[in-house]
């Protein structure tokens, strides 16, 4: 996995060291997150905890964008624009504008959820609970038929 990261950054032109192909210990990834290559490998063996630590977010997004750009992305759509460059400040951290934009989007989602649920009111919730209670009362005795097959 570390070889994949090193190769990816070396081939993308983001690695300043021309010897950073597969065997160089000072690859761009190791320099950016401040880990030695064995320590990085240990992180990856423990379940890719890279995505949990805030300082790895730009790196993680750059890797996912790379996977997406080369046809390796499957499943749910990425919630950001994979074509947009991942911006970092001089210290290598997240760009504050990106963080603020994501937070603002999350706040808007929560506010719209609050508005939608407040318009429904608590009476609708009581009705749903009553329907659930009625469903329990109308259960039929076991007639011997299987609900699902294992």
CB of 58 within 8 A of CB of 28? no
Mean pLDDT (10-residue bins), the chain, 150 residues? 50 44 49 64 58 67 86 83 74 60 85 82 64 55 49
pLDDT attached to residue 12:
45
- Nearest alpha carbon to residue 65 among 46, 48, 79: 79
30 backbone dihedrals φ, ψ, rounded to 5°? -65, -40
- State how far Cα 62 lies from the chain centre: 12
Residue 88 β-bridge partners: 94
Q: Domain extents for the chain?
A: 1-84, 95-137
């Amino acid at each position: 996995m570390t070889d994949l990261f090193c190769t990816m950054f070396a081939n993308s032109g983001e690695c300043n060291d021309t010897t950073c192909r597969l065997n160089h210990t000072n690859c761009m990834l190791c320099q950016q997150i401040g880990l030695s290559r064995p320590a990085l490998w240990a992180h990856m063996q423990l379940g890719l905890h890279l995505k949990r630590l805030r300082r790895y977010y730009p790196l993680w997004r750059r890797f996912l964008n790379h996977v997406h750009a080369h046809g390796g992305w499957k499943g749910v759509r990425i919630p950001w624009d994979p074509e947009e460059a991942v911006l970092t400040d001089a210290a290598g951290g997240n760009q504050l504008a990106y963080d603020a934009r994501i937070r603002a989007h999350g706040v808007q989602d929560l506010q719209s959820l609050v508005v939608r649920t407040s318009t429904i009111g608590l009476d609708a919730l009581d009705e749903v609970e009553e329907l659930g209670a009625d469903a329990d009362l109308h259960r039929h005795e076991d007639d011997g038929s299987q609900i699902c097959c294992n």
